[in-house]
Amino acid sequence: MAERDLTRGPIGRTLFWFSLPVLGSNVLQSLNASINAMWIGHYLGESALTAASNANILLFFLLGVVFGISMANTILIGQSIGAKNRELTQRIVGTSATFFVLVSVAVALIGYCFTPELLHMLGTPGDARDFAVAYLRIIFLALPVMYFYNFVMMALRGAGDARTPFRFMLLSAGLDVALNPLFIFGWGPVPPFGIAGSAGATLVAQSVSLAALMYTLYRRRDPLWLQREDWKYLRIDPGLLRLIVVKGLPMGLQMVVISSSAMVMMGFVNGYGSQTTAAYGVASQLWTYVQMPALAIGAGVSSMTAQNVGAGLWDRVSRIGRVGVGLNFVMTGALVIAILLFNRQFMNAFLPGDGYAISVAQHINTVVAWSFVLFGVTIVLFGVVRATGAVAAPLVILFVSQWVIRLPFAWQMQKHWGAEAIWWSFPLGFAVSLVMALAYYKWGRWRGMRMLSGGAKLAVAPVKDAVSAPAGPSPAPIVSPSSGESLTEDPRRPIESREAPGESTETRP
């Protein structure tokens, strides 16, 4: 499927059918991780499961900034496609792909070399540390493949194609599930690798799927595929790179804020022993499913908003946000009800039914699961405002809710409530985040912003918080290289902004 125009058609139906393959991809990805956790937990023990939980949180932290670059790329592609600017789309793909590969390789090398030290900093329990080192080092070897694969899929979604990523996620997940028991336990000429085999299965599965995906894009001459004559776009464009980094860094820092908070939280949980850590790890696995509708809708909202911003269709942007929030209440609410009704049955899939860990996991789930409805609304609102280029406010909101509210509450209240304070810090953090997100969505100056100016040859925005773009039925004119002006604004010069309908203007120094 080639790029899809998300600026036309009924918003509710378009958003639902775009989000559905994204949801399917998220389900497959998390189901894959859950099946791996089941193999590890049931057959290698709770210490191995604790090791995998610690390793995955650390990996999430180290890739936060790279994820932000990928998100910025997705939004820029959406806005350039909405502006009908094919050359700019190719320049964005080329510059961001080159930079993304370089950064992911650097992070992989650093992570591989310092794996024991990183796990020590995390406070990984001693009985799980050897497992964690073996697992995490293989994951670091796989990291460039894993995250370039994710980068390509997010770029396709920015172009309006959510089905192709789903098909190849299905291939990757199927291979991973099939290879996990083979590599963990061995069979025939394949020796048993233990927990490292689980990571090795991920490496092989994602490598095969990425190769197949790239071949498919080449064969169908996808608009995002750079033909031989387009290889010049792989040379980094300094103006575009500056924009991508300045926009991607706050989004990456959001992931760092979330993952570093999770690491501190894991440190708190580790203090209660391996069984509590295993229970928390299993509950976290289940939460990934509860989050999926919101994340899928948020991705759909972001892609739709980016294309409509690029086309200057601001009236549709507000409606996209409202429809997204409604879908979240229906889909996330239904999952939360199912999780609460069948709590023990879900926990039994990961943990022995007669152990202490399963009762702890059930209790954690009862305290936390309902609050993901609040989380979902926040994600949808963030999806709208980030797609316009307003990336600083979500970062501030997340930092306050995680580091000013959730972690201090969990730390201080443990003196009185013990581990219970950790579990209740989740609903508290989600509630604070939602209140702040609603306030910014209603009164913040994000309407009228855009990362790009539409047009035919080049469109690189100033690299402050965002460019305030004229709203209207057609994209604004661009600054052409032939005009003699710089491709990026002088950051010392004020940015003159124009209003979106019904919104105030903003001048940024």
For 320, list phi and psi in degrees, rounded to 5.
Answer: -60, -45
Sort 482 into a burial class: Cβ within 10 Å, 0-12 / 13-18 / 19+.
exposed
For 468, list phi and psi in degrees, rounded to 5.
Answer: -85, 115
HSE at residue 353, side-chain half, CA atoms within 13 A, is 6
What SS3 string covers 190-222? ECCCCHHHHHHHHHHHHHHHHHHHHHHHHHCCC
CA 467/CA 389 separation, integer angstroms: 8
Cβ(11)–Cβ(18) below 8 Å: no
Cβ(92)–Cβ(306) below 8 Å: no
CA 409/CA 112 separation, integer angstroms: 34
CA 323/CA 494 separation, integer angstroms: 35
Q: Could you count the other beta carbons within 10 Å of the beta carbon of residue 32?
A: 21
Cβ(418)–Cβ(479) below 8 Å: no
Q: Could you count the other beta carbons within 10 Å of the beta carbon of residue 473?
A: 9
User: What is the chain's pLDDT, residue by residue, as a tens digit (509 residues)?
Assistant: 455 678 788 888 889 998 999 889 888 877 777 787 778 877 777 778 778 877 877 777 766 667 777 888 888 888 888 878 888 888 888 998 888 888 888 888 988 898 888 888 877 777 778 888 888 899 888 888 988 888 898 889 888 888 999 999 999 999 999 998 899 888 888 888 888 888 899 899 999 999 999 999 999 888 888 887 888 888 888 888 888 888 888 888 888 888 788 889 988 998 888 788 888 888 887 887 888 899 899 989 988 988 888 888 888 888 999 999 999 999 999 999 988 888 888 787 777 666 778 888 889 999 999 999 999 999 999 999 988 888 889 999 999 999 999 999 999 999 899 999 999 999 999 999 999 999 999 998 887 666 665 433 443 333 333 333 333 333 333 333 333 333 333 333 333 333 343 343 333 33
CA 267/CA 414 separation, integer angstroms: 13
Cβ(49)–Cβ(124) below 8 Å: no
CA 427/CA 369 separation, integer angstroms: 9
DSSP code of 325? H
Segments making up each domain of the chain, as ranges? 11-443
CA 167/CA 26 separation, integer angstroms: 12
Closest CA to 132 of 103, 146, 111: 111
Cβ(45)–Cβ(195) below 8 Å: no
CA 372/CA 402 separation, integer angstroms: 15
CA 35/CA 29 separation, integer angstroms: 10
The model carries a pTM of 0.71
Cβ(125)–Cβ(274) below 8 Å: yes
Closest CA to 382 of 334, 325, 311, 437: 437
